[in-house]
């Protein structure tokens, strides 16, 4: 065993060799480089892989149709591990080594906030699906847009839905997240207006049981509970609510109450009648149909639709700006997403129109994709579902 | 590419400081500190708050981070004087989680899970793209100073006393060493170094949030010290850069593999890191640079 010796020198040489190796692979004729930075592992793991796939499908289509500005598109997919420390390292690699012009699909709010400064400092464009209000308030100088409605808008709609369920006493159970405070603020405003009272508690999302929290909530005898966590903690919470014999209505966000949660709970009666809520994709729209085919799923989630839109918008902005740079994207992204141009639903058609000197207005899979000057979307529809017999059934899209 | 390498070298240097901190207390005095991320966080928050909300100069922030984490370390050891081994490990792990939860929930002070953004970097505006390079030199400077200090401690009679406590605290006590004093001092210094590392991290990336201080970072540093060589400062340093090199180079390595999806690539990357560390520890069970215990000076 002693024959192989790992010395400082061999270790160093090995690491350097590892670092140097792909330089040979990477040497190619000047393609346009874009990146996805989605959570392939960690809490966002259920979403990131499909998002990366959707982005890759757009790039493939555009490359088949001849690329942008006569150049091929190369998409680099990195894993943000749903962890800001790992995400910063990955983003640094994308910016400095791959020299990408845009990073798309950051999911967790903490990841987006950590990565955003690197992007605006290096003039790299960032498209995100994170919902925290604080993100578009960062001094991003225009280098950031998001396709997810901010939490204030979302929670207002949730509040209105709770009222429409006939609630008199609503209770919110939520872990500490970047949108916790704004959730309370908005609900405390919306619910009393509709004649309902609102109480809430913050729980720790890493706990393995929520019996005390459930007891605390049920003491106020609520008729609607908003379970506003992520999937792993909501699994435990819903089980504990069922055990405690809660008979009222339960409502949660579709990013946590999803098929995965139903499968993990494994007993349909626990989740029977639970309502879910999500920003709606532009279902029935032609872009949405394309996403369905691209990812091979009958109902792609909103994040997948959003990242699909990111790539389309970025590519068209590059074409209009006639330059593959973050600056060109920043200056031109609103020229392809809003205004009075020809309505297009994918970059291939859009690029043709742009080449023909036409103006375009992109309407994507996630919605109309129009942005205000801060980078927030202007308009969005929401989708309400209810679980019946372990299946999600549509209540309404409004 | 250069600025990426500088970035990684800087983060590696910060990991190196953490590894030196852990080595001092774990390798030196044999106290298992699973709360490293907590002290890292205390330092990061102390400096970030002082320089953003308090408008203090960055150097003052670093100094306060060093002191604040040191005081936190002192508090933890003094409240756990009768705990050893596993029990100390549990308490320190608890401490780190408490710090993280306080950071997440005391919104008035820490801005909660939004985190603190816009932490100033030294001469960042004036330096522009050279910032990474200059900051690397700063971190390298701090790292070298800390390295020589802990190596001096390691080789001094003080370090010998610590090692005696590690091997058998009772015997050390019998030999007339004030075990509690040695332990508290070493732990406080170790915590202070971790806090300084936290401050350096915050001012480098300009953003900190509670999510940064998950126990994962403690695990990375334990891996670094174990693979580099427990009980030897140079080993800890090599280990930190080894872990960082693995974390980052695996990224490029999997990129070259054709025909795998992005998810498989991410999984392969994790697998590769694990395998590499297992191989290192299989071939070098006591680390790349194992501990060297100098012979005791002869009494004349």
Amino acid A27: pLDDT? 40
Question: How far is residue B101's CA from residue B87's CA, in Å, rounded to a whole number?
Answer: 21
Amino acid B138: pLDDT? 95
Name the CA dihedral angle for A229, A231, A233, A239, rounded to a multiple of 10 degrees.
110
Kindly state whether residues A98 and A197 are assigned to the same domain. no
Question: How far is residue B252's CA from residue A287's CA, in Å, rounded to a whole number?
Answer: 34
Kindly state whether residues A80 and A41 are assigned to the same domain. yes
B228 assigned to some structural domain? no
Nearest to A133 by CA among A185, A91, A170: A185
For the question of an ipTM over 0.90, the answer is no
Amino acid A14: pLDDT? 53
Kindly state whether residues A195 and A303 are assigned to the same domain. no
Residue ranges of B 12-41 with Cβ closer than 8 A to chain A: none
Within 8 A of A92 by CB-CB distance, chain B residues are 4, 7-8
Q: Pull the structure tokens for residue B167.
A: 């091997």
Choice between A43 and A136, residue whose per-residue pLDDT is larger: A136
Amino acid A10: pLDDT? 56
Structural domain containing residue A252? 151-281+381-397
B257–chain A Cβ distance below 8 A for any pair: no
Kindly state whether residues A386 and A242 are assigned to the same domain. yes
B270 assigned to some structural domain? no
B170 assigned to some structural domain? yes
Q: Output DSSP code: residue B27.
A: I
Which tens digits make up the pLDDT trace of B227-242? 998 889 999 999 999 9
**Which CATH number do you get for residue A188?**
3.40.50.2300
pLDDT at B300 over 70: no
Question: How far is residue A15's CA from residue A11's CA, in Å, rounded to a whole number?
Answer: 6
B207 assigned to some structural domain? yes
A160 assigned to some structural domain? yes
Distance, in angstroms, between B206 CA and closest chain A CA?
Answer: 8
Q: Pull the structure tokens for residue A285.
A: 């729209």
Question: How far is residue A81's CA from residue A90's CA, in Å, rounded to a whole number?
Answer: 9
pLDDT at A132 over 80: yes
Amino acid B69: pLDDT? 96
Mean of the per-residue pLDDT values for chain B?
90
Interface test with A, best of B41, B108, B113 (most A CBs within 10 A): B113
Nearest to B161 by CA among B142, B177, B181, B139: B177
A4 assigned to some structural domain? no
Question: How far is residue B100's CA from residue A23's CA, in Å, rounded to a whole number?
Answer: 40
Which tens digits make up the pLDDT trace of B241-299? 999 999 999 888 888 888 888 788 888 888 988 898 899 889 988 888 888 877 777 77
Kindly state whether residues A326 and A256 are assigned to the same domain. no
Distance, in angstroms, between A338 CA and closest chain B CA?
Answer: 30
A21 assigned to some structural domain? no
Which tens digits make up the pLDDT trace of A261-318? 999 999 999 999 999 998 888 887 888 998 999 888 888 888 999 999 999 999 999 9
**Domain total of chain A:** 2
- List the A144-146 sheet strands across, edge first: A73-79, A32-38, A102-106, A125-128, A144-146
Question: How far is residue A151's CA from residue A155's CA, in Å, rounded to a whole number?
Answer: 6
Kindly state whether residues A167 and A194 are assigned to the same domain. yes
Any bridge partners for residue A250, and if so which?
A: A225
- Give residue B208's pLDDT band: very low, low, confident or very high (50, 70, 90): very high
Least confident of A27-36, B48-57, B82-91, B108-117: A27-36
Assess contact for A272 and A246: CB atoms under 8 A.
no
Amino acid B107: pLDDT? 86
Q: Determine which helix (DSSP H) or strand (DSSP E) holds A35, and give its type and residue range.
A: strand A32-38
Average pLDDT rounded to a whole number, residues B153-172: 90
State how far the alpha carbon of B261 is from the alpha carbons of A312, B35, B54, B257, B268, in Å.
Answer: 21, 36, 47, 10, 10
Mean of the per-residue pLDDT values for chain A?
88
Chain position carrying tokens 């962890």: A83
Q: Output DSSP code: residue A99.
A: -
Kindly state whether residues A252 and A132 are assigned to the same domain. no
Average pLDDT rounded to a whole number, residues A55-82: 92
Structural domain containing residue B95? 2-212
Q: CB distance B112–A78 less than 8 Å?
A: no
Average pLDDT rounded to a whole number, residues B211-216: 88
- Give residue B216's pLDDT band: very low, low, confident or very high (50, 70, 90): confident
A18 assigned to some structural domain? no
B81 assigned to some structural domain? yes
Average pLDDT rounded to a whole number, residues A356-385: 88
**Domain total of chain B:** 1
Q: What percent of chain A has pLDDT over 90?
A: 60
- Give residue A184's pLDDT band: very low, low, confident or very high (50, 70, 90): very high
Kindly state whether residues A76 and A118 are assigned to the same domain. yes
- Give residue A2's pLDDT band: very low, low, confident or very high (50, 70, 90): very low
B299 assigned to some structural domain? no
Distance, in angstroms, between B67 CA and closest chain A CA?
Answer: 24
Which tens digits make up the pLDDT trace of B17-57? 999 999 999 988 888 899 999 999 999 999 999 999 888 99
Choice between A258 and A225, residue whose per-residue pLDDT is larger: A225
B8–chain A Cβ distance below 8 A for any pair: yes
Smallest CA–CA distance from B119 into chain A, residue:
A117
Within 8 A of B242 by CB-CB distance, chain A residues are 11, 15
Kindly state whether residues A271 and A131 are assigned to the same domain. no
A9 assigned to some structural domain? no
Choice between A56 and A8, residue whose per-residue pLDDT is larger: A56
Q: What percent of chain B has pLDDT over 90?
A: 55
Exposed/middle/buried for A216, CB within 10 Å: 0-12, 13-18, 19+? middle
A367 assigned to some structural domain? no
Which tens digits make up the pLDDT trace of A208-235? 899 999 999 999 999 999 999 988 899 9
Kindly state whether residues A189 and A295 are assigned to the same domain. no
B227 assigned to some structural domain? no
Which tens digits make up the pLDDT trace of B163-182? 999 998 889 999 999 999 99
């Amino acid at each position: 065993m002693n024959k192989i010796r790992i010395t400082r020198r061999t270790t160093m040489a090995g690491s350097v060799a590892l670092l140097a190796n792909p330089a040979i692979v990477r040497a190619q004729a000047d393609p346009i480089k874009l990146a996805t930075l989605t959570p392939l592992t960690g809490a966002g793991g259920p979403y990131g892989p499909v998002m990366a796939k959707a982005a890759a499908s757009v790039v493939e289509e555009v490359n088949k149709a001849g690329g942008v500005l006569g150049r091929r598109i190369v998409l680099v997919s990195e894993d943000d591990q749903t962890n800001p420390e790992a995400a910063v390292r990955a983003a640094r690699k994308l910016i400095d080594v791959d020299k990408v012009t845009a990073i798309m699909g950051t999911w967790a709010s903490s990841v987006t906030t950590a990565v955003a400064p690197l992007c605006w400092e290096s003039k790299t464009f960032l498209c995100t699906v994170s919902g925290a209000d604080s993100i578009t308030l960062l001094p991003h100088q225009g280098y950031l847009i998001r396709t997810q409605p901010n939490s204030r808008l979302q929670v207002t709609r949730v509040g209105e839905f709770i009222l429409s369920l006939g609630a008199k006493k609503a209770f919110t159970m939520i872990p500490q997240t970047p949108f916790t405070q704004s959730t309370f603020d908005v609900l405390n405003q919306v619910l009393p207006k509709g004649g309902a009272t609102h109480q809430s508690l913050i729980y720790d999302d890493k706990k393995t049981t929520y019996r005390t929290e459930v007891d605390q909530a049920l003491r106020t005898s609520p008729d609607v509970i908003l379970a506003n966590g992520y999937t792993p903690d909501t699994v435990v919470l819903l089980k504990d609510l069922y055990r405690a014999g809660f008979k009222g209505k339960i409502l949660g966000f579709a990013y946590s109450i999803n098929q995965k949660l139903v499968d993990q709970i494994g007993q349909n009666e626990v989740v029977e009648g639970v309502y879910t809520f999500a920003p709606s994709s532009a279902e029935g729209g032609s872009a949405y149909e394309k996403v369905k085919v691209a990812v091979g799923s009958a109902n792609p989630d909103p994040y997948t639709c959003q990242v699909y839109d990111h790539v389309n918008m970025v590519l068209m902005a590059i074409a209009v700006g006639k330059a593959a740079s973050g600056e060109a994207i920043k200056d031109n992204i609103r020229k392809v997403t809003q205004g009075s141009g020809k309505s297009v639903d994918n970059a291939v058609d859009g690029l043709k129109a742009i080449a023909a000197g036409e103006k375009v207005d992109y309407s994507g899979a996630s919605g109309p994709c129009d942005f205000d000057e801060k980078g927030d979307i202007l308009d969005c529809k929401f989708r309400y579902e209810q679980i019946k017999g372990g299946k999600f059934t549509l209540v309404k899209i409004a | 590419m250069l600025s990426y390498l500088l970035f990684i070298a800087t983060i590696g240097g910060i990991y190196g400081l953490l590894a030196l901190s852990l080595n001092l207390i774990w390798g030196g005095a044999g106290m298992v500190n699973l709360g490293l991320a907590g002290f890292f966080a205390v330092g990061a928050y102390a400096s970030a708050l002082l320089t953003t909300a308090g408008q203090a100069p960055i150097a003052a922030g670093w100094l306060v981070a060093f002191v604040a984490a040191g005081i936190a370390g002192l508090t933890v050891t003094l409240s756990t004087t009768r705990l050893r081994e596993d029990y100390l490990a549990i308490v320190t792990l608890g401490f780190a989680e408490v710090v993280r939860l306080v950071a997440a929930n005391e919104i008035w002070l820490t801005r909660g899970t939004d985190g603190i953004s816009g932490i100033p970097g030294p001469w960042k505006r004036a330096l522009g793209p050279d910032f990474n390079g200059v900051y690397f030199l700063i971190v390298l400077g701090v790292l070298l100073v800390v390295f020589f200090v802990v190596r001096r401690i390691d080789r001094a009679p003080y370090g010998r006393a610590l090692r005696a406590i590690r091997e058998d605290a009772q015997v050390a006590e019998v030999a007339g060493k004030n075990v509690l004093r040695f332990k508290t001092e070493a732990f406080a210094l170790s915590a202070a170094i971790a806090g300084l590392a936290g401050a350096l991290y915050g001012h480098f990336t300009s953003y900190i949030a509670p999510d940064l201080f998950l126990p994962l970072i403690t695990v990375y540093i334990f891996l670094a010290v174990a693979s580099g060589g427990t009980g030897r400062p140079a080993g800890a340093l090599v280990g930190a850069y080894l872990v960082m090199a693995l974390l980052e180079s695996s990224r490029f390595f999997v990129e070259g593999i054709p025909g795998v999806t992005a998810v498989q690539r991410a999984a392969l990357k994790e697998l590769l890191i694990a395998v590499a560390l297992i191989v290192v520890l299989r071939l070098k069970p006591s680390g790349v640079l194992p501990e060297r215990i100098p012979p005791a000076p002869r009494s004349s």
